[in-house]
Chains A and B, each alone.
Chain A
Amino acid sequence: AQSVSQHNHHVILSEAASLELGCNYSYGGTVNLFWYVQYPGQHLQLLLKYFSGDPLVKGIKGFEAEFIKSKFSFNLRKPSVQWSDTAEYFCAVNYMDTGRRALTFGSGTRLQVQP
């Protein structure tokens, strides 16, 4: 079965530190890839997405992610985090070859940025 792994469950960083959150998916076919963020008390918001083309995608608020097909990975990065980045981050995958539109989510990574 298709799955998505986010190995970092809880990450604590100081402001201005660099961030990299891992996301690996289980399937070698065609995929669409997403990162969503959930700020405290708010709903899931789209950070960035990858459909095709340049494997380095840029999203909102200075986030970027790199699709490495050979590693089945789509890691999220930010060079310098801010306190306002404190949130839960979810990686999601649409396994296109299944013909389904359902997103498969990872279990999330809680990021805590200390001032």
Chain B
Amino acid sequence: GAGVSQTPSNKVTEKGKYVELRCDPISGHTALYWYRQSLGQGPEFLIYFQGTGAADDSGLPNDRFFAVRPEGSVSTLKIQRTERGDSAVYLCASSWTRAEATDTQYFGPGTRLTVL
């Protein structure tokens, strides 16, 4: 079946601008995650949704970052007043199980954000 999809694949913006990144999880997956991957590093957790609610947003670096999942499917990561340090690949993952003990996350292709 279709995997996790993310749009756009690339986004170039200017410092100070607002951006939205979209994630469409695997159909039927109730959990959705956002990660950020900087060059030469592994992904770093940002936020986790179970259904419509943010169950864990402890990884969001500051209040410029916000994410929503209003209908429990598609999610949007929003970044206000972008800074050059926000440049990274933003990854989305989803999983279907409610059981933490066997949770397996499947990743999308990512959105490469470049802030000039």
Contact = CB atoms under 8 A, between A and B. Distances in A.
Contacts of B100: 94, 96, 99, 101
A76 interface: no
B101 A102 contact: no
B56 interface: yes
A108 B91 CA distance: 16
Given A32-B101, A108-B42, A101 B31 contact: yes
B51 interface: no
Interface in B41-58: 41-45, 48, 55-56, 58
Interface residues of B, number: 27
Nearest to A45: B107
B44 to A, nearest CB: 7
Interface in B66-94: 91
Interface string A84-99: 0000001010101001
Nearest to B42: A105
Nearest to A4: B42
B106 interface: yes
Given A43-B107, A102-B45, A107-B41, A51 B56 contact: no
Contacts of A17: none
B44 A43 contact: no
A100 interface: yes
A57 B3 CA distance: 24
Contact of B44 (A45, A100, A101, A105): A105
B25 to A, nearest CB: 14
B103 A101 contact: yes
A35 to B, nearest CB: 12
Given A102-B59, A105-B44, A108-B42, A44 B101 contact: no
Given A32-B103, A102-B59, A104-B45, 18 more contacts: A32-B101, A36-B107, A43-B3, A45-B107, A46-B104, A46-B106, A96-B101, A99-B100, A100-B58, A101-B31, A101-B33, A101-B103, A103-B35, A103-B43, A103-B105, A105-B42, A105-B43, A105-B44
